[in-house]
Amino acid sequence: MIRRFFAILWKEWKCLQPFYFLLLALFVVGLLVVQALEFMDEYPIWDALAEATGFSVGQTFVLCIVGVLGLLTREKDEGILTYLDGLPVSRFSMYLAKWLLVVILVFMLDAAWMIEGLVYEYLSKESDSQPTPWQHLGTYLFLHTFLIGYFVSILMPISFLRFWSLLVIPAGWMILSILETIGTPYITWINPFALIQLPEKIDDPWVIPWKHMAILSIIGGFAWFIGLCFYGMMSAISGRKSREFMQSSWGKALTGLGIFGGLLILAGLFVGLSYSMVQNDALPLETVPISGADLREPLEDENAIESAISEKFQFVYRRKMAQRIAPLLKEADDIFNQVAQFLQAPPPATAGRVVVDFSSPLGSHNAGQAYWKKIRMSFPEELQLAEARAILGHEVTHVLINNLTNTRLEESFGSARWFHEGLASYVEFTIFRGKNASQDYDHWLALSSTWGEVHFEEMVSNGLMIKNRDPNIAYPAGMECIKAAIDVYGEEFPAKILTSIGRPDAPRKLEGLELWRDACLAAGYDLERIRGRFRARLKDLREEHKATCESMPEITKGKVIRQDGQIVITPELPEGWQDKAPTDATLICRVRPDDFAEPGKWRYSKLLDDNTFAVSALDFLKPRLSFQVGWRNKNWCETQPIFGQWVEAPLEP
Partner 1 sequence: MTGVLFQKEWQRNWFTFLWLGILIWLIVLITCYFYNAGGTGAGVFSGIGMGLMILMPISSLFLGHALVASEFQSKTQLFLEGLPLPKWRMITMKLFLAFAATIFYAVGCILIGWLYAQGSEVVTPRFLGILLSSACGWALFSMGFFFVTGFLGRYRFLIYLLLVLSILLLISSSVPMSRFPPYALIDYSRFGLEREIWPISNLRFTGIFIVGWVVAAYILGLAKEGSISTMLGEKMSYREKMFIGGAIVIGGLAISSVFSQPKPEPFSLPGAVVEEWDGVEVAISPEDPDPDKPVDTEVAIAGKLARRLAEQRDWLGIPPVNFPKIFIVEKTDIEEKEKIDWDESLTDNSILMYAGYREPEFSENRLLSWTLSQVMRKNSMKRVGREHRWWIICGLEGLWEMEQADPETIREREKLAVEAVKKHGLTLNNLWDWSKYQKDVEWRSADAVAWMGMRHLMQSRGKDIVQSFARRTVTRRFTRVDGRAVVWDYSNPVAPAFKAATGITLEEYVKQWREYILSFESEKETKP
The footprint of partner 1 on residues 106-135 (CB under 8 A) is: 123, 126-128
The Cα–Cα gap between 387 and 553 comes to 31
Q: How far is the CB of 228 from partner 1 (least distance, A)?
A: 22
Residue 632 φ/ψ region, left for φ over 0, alpha for ψ in the -120 to 50 degree band, beta for the rest: beta
- Phi first, then psi, for residue 317 (nearest 5°) are -155, 170
482-501 residues in contact with partner 1 (CB under 8 A) are 487-488
CB atoms within 10 A of CB 540: 13
CB atoms within 10 A of CB 484: 23
Instruction: Select 298 or 653, whichever has its Cβ closest to partner 1.
Output: 298
Q: How far is the CB of 172 from partner 1 (least distance, A)?
A: 12
Instruction: Select 232 or 352, whichever has its Cβ closest to partner 1.
Output: 352
Among 364, 468, 556, 586, binds partner 1 (CB under 8 A): 364
Q: Which stretch binds partner 1 (CB under 8 A): 93-101, 166-174, 338-346, 417-425?
A: 166-174
89: helix, strand or coil: coil
Among 105, 104, 93, which Cα is nearest to 231's?
93
Q: Is 41 in the site for partner 1 (CB under 8 A)?
A: yes
Instruction: Select 74 or 467, whichever has its Cβ closest to partner 1.
Output: 74
179: helix, strand or coil: helix
Q: How far is the CB of 382 from partner 1 (least distance, A)?
A: 19
Q: Do β-strands 624-632 and 647-652 pair in parallel, antiparallel, or remain unpaired? A: antiparallel
What does the DSSP 8-state code read for residue 507? P
426-485 residues in contact with partner 1 (CB under 8 A) are 457
Q: How far is the CB of 618 from partner 1 (least distance, A)?
A: 19
The Cα–Cα gap between 585 and 570 comes to 18
User: In Å, how far are 120, 387, 409, 566 from 480, measured between CA atoms?
Assistant: 45, 21, 19, 39
Q: How far is the CB of 441 from partner 1 (least distance, A)?
A: 22
523-582 residues in contact with partner 1 (CB under 8 A) are 524-526, 528-529, 532-533, 535-536, 539
Instruction: Number of residues interacting with partner 1: please give it, by CB under 8 A.
Output: 92
Among 82, 135, 360, 611, binds partner 1 (CB under 8 A): 360
Q: How far is the CB of 66 from partner 1 (least distance, A)?
A: 7
**Three-state SS across 556-584?**
CCEEEEEECCEEEEEECCCCCHHHHCCCC
Among 3, 88, 115, 163, binds partner 1 (CB under 8 A): 163
The Cα–Cα gap between 448 and 471 comes to 11
User: In Å, how far are 356, 552, 556, 578, 611 from 574, measured between CA atoms?
Assistant: 47, 10, 10, 9, 12
In 572-623, beta strands by DSSP E: 586-592, 603-606, 613-616
Q: Are 404 and 423 in contact (CB under 8 A)?
A: no
Q: How far is the CB of 138 from partner 1 (least distance, A)?
A: 27
Q: How far is the CB of 369 from partner 1 (least distance, A)?
A: 7
Instruction: Select 90 or 303, whichever has its Cβ closest to partner 1.
Output: 303
605: helix, strand or coil: strand
Instruction: Select 385 or 495, whichever has its Cβ closest to partner 1.
Output: 495
289-328 residues in contact with partner 1 (CB under 8 A) are 293, 296, 299, 303, 305, 307, 314, 316
Among 583, 553, 587, which Cα is nearest to 570's?
587
Q: How far is the CB of 127 from partner 1 (least distance, A)?
A: 3
- Phi first, then psi, for residue 354 (nearest 5°) are -100, 130
186-245 residues in contact with partner 1 (CB under 8 A) are none
Q: How far is the CB of 22 from partner 1 (least distance, A)?
A: 4
What does the DSSP 8-state code read for residue 204? S
Instruction: Select 253 or 326, whichever has its Cβ closest to partner 1.
Output: 253
User: In Å, how far are 497, 513, 520 from 525, measured between CA atoms?
Assistant: 9, 14, 5
Instruction: Select 38 or 572, whichever has its Cβ closest to partner 1.
Output: 38
**CA angle, corner 264, sides to 263 and 266, nearest 5?**
65
372-411 residues in contact with partner 1 (CB under 8 A) are 372-374, 376, 407, 410-411
Q: How far is the CB of 349 from partner 1 (least distance, A)?
A: 13
340-359 residues in contact with partner 1 (CB under 8 A) are 352-353, 355, 357, 359
> Going by C-beta distance under 8 Å and a sequence separation of 6 or more, which residues neighbour residue 203?
130, 133
Instruction: Select 8 or 587, whichever has its Cβ closest to partner 1.
Output: 8
Enumerate the β-bridge partners of residue 355.
314, 374
- Phi first, then psi, for residue 290 (nearest 5°) are -75, -40
250-269 residues in contact with partner 1 (CB under 8 A) are 250, 252-253, 256, 260
Q: Please, how many CA atoms are within 13 Å of residue 201, restricted to the half-sphere of its CB?
A: 8
Q: Are 577 and 553 in contact (CB under 8 A)?
A: yes
Q: How far is the CB of 261 from partner 1 (least distance, A)?
A: 11
48-87 residues in contact with partner 1 (CB under 8 A) are 66, 70, 74
Q: How far is the CB of 374 from partner 1 (least distance, A)?
A: 5
Among 107, 193, 230, 371, binds partner 1 (CB under 8 A): 371
Q: How far is the CB of 446 from partner 1 (least distance, A)?
A: 16
Concatenating the DSSP letter of every residue in 37-100 gives HS-GGG--HHHHHHHHHHHHHHHHHHHHHHHHTTTTTHHHHTTHHHHHHTSS--HHHHHHHHHH
Among 58, 170, 292, 380, binds partner 1 (CB under 8 A): 170
Contact string (CB under 8 A) for partner 1, positions 583-622, x = contact: -----------------x----------------------
Residue 278 φ/ψ region, left for φ over 0, alpha for ψ in the -120 to 50 degree band, beta for the rest: beta
Among 162, 455, 467, 517, binds partner 1 (CB under 8 A): 517
Instruction: Select 109 or 607, whichever has its Cβ closest to partner 1.
Output: 109
Instruction: Select 435 or 509, whichever has its Cβ closest to partner 1.
Output: 509
Q: Which stretch binds partner 1 (CB under 8 A): 15-23, 217-225, 335-343, 586-594?
A: 15-23
